[in-house]
Amino acid sequence: MTAEPPSHTALVRRARRIDRELALLYPDAHTELNFATPLELLVATILSAQTTDKRVNMVTPILFSRYPTAADYAAADRDELEKIIQSTGFYHAKTNSLIGLGGALCERFGGEVPPRLRDLVTLPGVGRKTANVVLGNAFGIPGITVDTHFGRLARRFGWTTSDDPEKVEADVATLIPRRDWTALSHRVIWHGRRVCHARRPACGACGLARLCPSYGEGPTDPVVAAKLVKPGPFS
Ligand code: SF4
């Protein structure tokens, strides 16, 4: 006989308990990218694709002082911009995105970053993940950021069975109150970076062990697991 899948009510209850526990574990969880304005966060998030926040934070001080406005990106000298962001990887594509982004912001949004998902996703280099990061962290509009960590942990928590970030976002939105989406995203990503790794999650050292349906996916021996924990910071 196979066990009945948990009811939606049971899933909601467990998801909220996991989020409360994450809030205790990471009361200070926040984006690890440095920024002061919506434009800076948008640019930093575009640069963060396929690299670490730490690497991005190393190039953004000079980048932000050289290109303070959308018009500056639109008019950027390609070679100079590529040189500044080279160490973040994929710099040809990222340079195209930043120059295109500056142009699109100037042409369609008066040089300002628009505070709406449906506008943000029309910008070069901006998908739903980047848009939700900017909405949640620069504008205070709740957003669920499904990056590689969030997707993996949502599946391990039983919040979704999907690999499609948009479906993951929609599934989690039915479990967690809207006002908590941005903070939840930070907590889950922090836990993914520090404890619940893609390979060998540190189950035996995990504060969610008694709540997580995937407990045992990694080593449960506390001494072995403790060695797998990466304390951070990652910025
Ligand atoms: S118990 Fe294991 S699988 Fe579950 S969240 Fe913790 S580290 Fe990840």
What span, in angstroms and rounded, lies between the C-alpha atoms of 56 and 190?
17
CA angle 203/218/153 to nearest 5° reads 70
pLDDT of residue 5: 78
Q: For residues 126 and 85, is the Cβ–Cβ distance under 8 A? A: no
CA of 157 to the centre of ligand 1 (A): 8
CA of 107 to the centre of ligand 1 (A): 46
Catalytic positions: 129, 147
Q: Is the CB of 126 under 6 A from ligand 1?
A: no
Q: Give tens-digit pLDDT for 151-204.
A: 999 999 999 999 999 999 999 999 999 999 999 999 999 999 999 999 999 999
> For residue 77, what are its two tokens?
């000298």
pTM (whole model) above 0.75: yes
DSSP state of 218: S
What span, in angstroms and rounded, lies between the C-alpha atoms of 15 and 17?
5
Q: Is the CB of 220 under 6 A from ligand 1?
A: no
What span, in angstroms and rounded, lies between the C-alpha atoms of 185 and 45?
15
CA 139 to chain centre: 15
Residue 215 Cα: closest atom of ligand 1: 1
> For residue 82, what are its two tokens?
């590529």
Q: Is the CB of 80 under 6 A from ligand 1?
A: no
pLDDT, average across residues 102-119: 98
Q: Is the CB of 156 under 6 A from ligand 1?
A: yes
pLDDT, average across residues 115-142: 96
What span, in angstroms and rounded, lies between the C-alpha atoms of 39 and 41?
5
Q: Please determine, for residue 1, whether its predicted confidence score (pLDDT) is greater than 70.
A: no
Q: Is the CB of 205 under 6 A from ligand 1?
A: no
Confidence of residue 231 (pLDDT cuts 50, 70, 90): confident
pLDDT of residue 2: 60
Q: Is the CB of 209 under 6 A from ligand 1?
A: yes
Indicate the top mutation candidate among 18, 187, 212 to test ligand 1's pocket, ranked by most ligand atoms within 8 A of CB: 212
CA of 183 to the centre of ligand 1 (A): 19
